[in-house]
Amino acid sequence: MRIEQLQAFLAVVDTGNFGQAAQKCEVTQSTISRKIQSLETELGLPLFHRTAQAKLTLGGERFLPRARKICQEWQSVTQELRDLLAGKQPELCVAAIHSVCSQHLPPVLQRFCRNHPDVQLRVTALGSDRALKVLRDGLVDVAIVMNNPFLTASPEMVVEVLYEEPIEVLMASHHPLAEYQQLQASELARYPQIMFKDGYGMQRLVQDWFASQNASLNSVMELNTPDAFRGVVRQGDLIALLPTSALSEAKTDSSLAIRPIAQAPGSAQETDLSRQVVLATTRDRLQIPPIQSFCQLVRQLAKSSHLSSNSPNNRIARLHAS
């Protein structure tokens, strides 16, 4: 059963004969007759009495309300899809890590709201892995997170690198490590650490880095906001490895100290421990004008930001997950 058959059936019902139905549908009368006949064959019974005036049979009367409902639903959904492609999207949902929400997204959100006043913008701060999972499940349209290839390696996903930023060590200003200008993994391993919770890309990044340095990681607490990290670190000997964008407020706090991480002697790895922040969405969503516009605003901000300078670690690059 095809929608064209139902539309031909309703045209005959509304006009009262096959000839006028053909004019209404802008096809030949033989085409209308053929569609009705094929529909009757599928249903197994006649829908019209073939008289001068097309009159519904008992089967046709039973079929009529269902046919109208199906065609009305078809008309509604096709209109919704046309509106979607025309940019008439009721809402746009974004999931981003906390540092992006607080440091980088505000100007993007303001510009987007000015450009698209009819689109309800919904932003949720989540850990990277959780944000990618809700994107994959269709609960959000865009995720701005640390990349996790295990969650983005599918044909429908599109991942675009926005910037890379170094990871530094946050500690109290009176902490023994504050005496050093740079810190190595062996020195960091001597002190208990605060970690991001499970589901946050930073936890995985720090764990993998300590393992690559053959150093022990003494994790004694898990938190999920920069404010909480600052409050706990300020109190004693705990330290935390955090990205630069999560340390902006700590840099003006005299009770806290920040130190860079040095390369271990003889290590073949890069000098700086860093994280990569990406914009992720799906190919079908990139066809929707408001989502295209939002992604473009994010790209423009990344390009104009000091985090996306022309240094090798900060170049913009486009990646398509294989």
Mean pLDDT of the chain: 86
**Residue 313 has what pLDDT?**
42
Q: Which residues contact 94 (CB under 8 A, 6 or more apart)?
A: 105, 121, 122, 123, 124, 140, 141, 142, 143, 144, 294
Which whole number is the average pLDDT over 227-233?
93
Is residue 212 within 8 A of residue 188, CB to CB? The reply is no
Share of the chain above pLDDT 70, in %: 89
CA distances from 318 to 283, 315, 322 (A): 14, 10, 13
pLDDT tier, 194 (very low <50, low <70, confident <90, very high otherwise): very high
Checking if the pLDDT of 187 tops 70, the result is yes
**Residue 250 has what pLDDT?**
92
Cα separation of the two ends of the chain: 38
CATH topology of domain 3-85: Arc Repressor Mutant, subunit A (1.10.10)
Cβ atoms < 10 Å from Cβ of 101? 18
Alpha carbons 143 and 105: distance in angstroms, whole number = 12
Is residue 168 within 8 A of residue 260, CB to CB? The reply is yes
Which whole number is the average pLDDT over 219-226?
91
Amino acid identity, position 177? L
**Residue 308 has what pLDDT?**
42
Report the relative pairing of strands 274-282 and 193-196 from DSSP bridges. unpaired
CA distances from 260 to 98, 128, 182, 209, 308 (A): 21, 23, 5, 15, 19
Report the relative pairing of strands 256-260 and 157-172 from DSSP bridges. antiparallel
The CATH number that domain 92-322 falls under is 3.40.190.290
In which element (H, E) is residue 292 found?
Answer: helix 289-304
Which whole number is the average pLDDT over 230-236?
92
Is residue 127 within 8 A of residue 222, CB to CB? The reply is no
Q: What is the token pair recorded at 246?
A: 């999560």
Q: Which residues contact 247 (CB under 8 A, 6 or more apart)?
A: 168, 170, 226, 258
pLDDT digits (tens, 9 = 90+) for 49-102: 887 788 899 998 999 999 999 999 988 888 777 766 766 678 899 999 988 998
- Candidates 251, 248, 255, 252; CA nearest to 231 is 255
| Distance of alpha carbon 198 from the chain centroid | 20
**Residue 80 has what pLDDT?**
76
Strand-pairing partners, residue 166, are 274
pLDDT digits (tens, 9 = 90+) for 156-175: 999 999 999 999 999 999 99
Domain boundaries, the chain: 3-85, 92-322
Alpha carbons 200 and 183: distance in angstroms, whole number = 24
pLDDT digits (tens, 9 = 90+) for 240-268: 999 998 898 999 999 999 999 986 655 54
Cβ atoms < 10 Å from Cβ of 30? 10
